[in-house]
Amino acid sequence: MTGRENGFDAIKGAAIILVVFGHVWLGLGSAGLIGDAQLFRTVEEAIYLFHMPVFFFVSGLFFMPKPAPVPFLRHKVLTLLWPLLLWSWIEALALLVSGQGGDRGVSGLLDVLAYPVPVKSVFWFLWALFVLQIGAYLVQRLFRAGALVAMLGLAIASVLFFLLGLNPGIFVTIIENAPYFLAGILMRPIRKELAHPLPLPFVVGALMLILSEVVHLKEGIGAPWFQVTALLAVMGFCGVFARIGNTWAGGGFAWLGARTMPIYLIHIILTAATRVTLLKLGVTALGPHLVAGVLMGIGVPLIVDAAVQRLGWGKVAGFGQRPGRATMQN
């Protein structure tokens, strides 16, 4: 992996930390442990502006459709749909065993089996990415030389969809995240330049991220140009951490970025369990909950992943098998 490509793992590593922290933060808010409503809203909106769009964008940057439909579809089913099914069942079983499944419609084994449909919890990302990648593959096959122009048109259309105030219904997560994924595909030819080691991309990225956050926190998620603001934040975030990934300090982010899939799939169970356990122990202070929740949400999946990789079960667990990269970019 080259230094510049290492920068993209650093992007994912930083983003997955925000994903875990965001879910810990939301859980604490739901439990009534964050008394300052303004603080809760500000932190939530600042993170949720871009942390998942980053993964769609990077996935687009590395999207390489194979020429044969069957191997392409098989790969996407095994790397996206299989983890969705497996870990949806595991999450449902955990809810059933813990007695927490009543509010989620899980009261028996049949409910566990049916839990993946419709898609719930964090698994919406895998479904949305699957649909977007299949769609991009079809566009590539149908339009061939004109595929990039067609994808640019689709990206613009998906932004206009919300600018015009249209209701996407059940397709909201797909249409909402299409601009980020398609922008990644369109920028794939200049991918290496996005992680250029010179300081300028870092400075420009930091300014873009700050400006996007200021606009977003002022206008809110209901603003019709939300996706444009989010895309600028995504590119700013990528500019910052791609540059950091090319330094000695970015090694930890890059290492974590190669292990985002197990963290993403498992963390939601662990963060909830940590919060419930600490509450039962009488711990209500915000600090211990945040630290313990993030550490458990990241640390335990890494331990599980290490064991699974050592046994050679990475593909079976839905993590991907290393050597190679078990990431969320494929």
Tens-digit pLDDT profile for the chain (330 aa)?
A: 444 468 899 999 999 999 999 999 999 999 999 989 999 999 999 999 999 999 999 999 999 887 799 999 999 999 999 999 999 999 999 989 888 777 788 889 999 999 999 999 999 999 999 999 999 999 999 998 899 999 999 999 999 988 888 888 889 999 999 999 999 999 998 888 777 767 777 888 899 999 999 999 888 777 778 889 999 999 999 989 988 887 777 889 999 999 999 999 999 999 999 999 999 999 999 999 999 999 999 999 999 999 999 999 999 999 998 874 434 544
Report the 10 Å Cβ neighbour count for 4.
17
- What's the confidence (pLDDT) of residue 328? 52
Amino acid symbol at 27: G
- What's the confidence (pLDDT) of residue 191? 85
- What's the confidence (pLDDT) of residue 326? 39
- What's the confidence (pLDDT) of residue 202? 83
| Cβ atoms 48, 15 nearer than 8 A | no
Amino acid symbol at 318: G
Which of the 8 DSSP states describes residue 187?
Answer: T
In which region does residue 10 sit, left (phi positive, over 0), alpha (psi from -120 to 50) or beta (all else)?
alpha
* pTM of the predicted structure, to 2 decimals: 0.93
Domain-wise residue ranges, the chain: 3-317
CA dihedral 207, 213, 215, 216 (to 10 degrees): 150
Q: Where are the alpha helices (DSSP H) in 144-283?
A: 147-163, 172-186, 191-194, 199-219, 226-245, 251-257, 260-280
- What's the confidence (pLDDT) of residue 6? 80
Tokens found for residue 64: 């390489």
Sign of the CA dihedral running 296, 48, 11, 84: positive
| Residue 7, burial from CB neighbour count under 10 angstroms (0-12, 13-18, 19+) | buried
Q: In whole angstroms, what is the distance from residue 85 CA to residue 120 CA?
A: 11
Q: In whole angstroms, what is the distance from residue 11 CA to residue 277 CA?
A: 32
- Of 80, 88, 48, 46, the closest CA to residue 63 belongs to 80
Report the 10 Å Cβ neighbour count for 313.
13
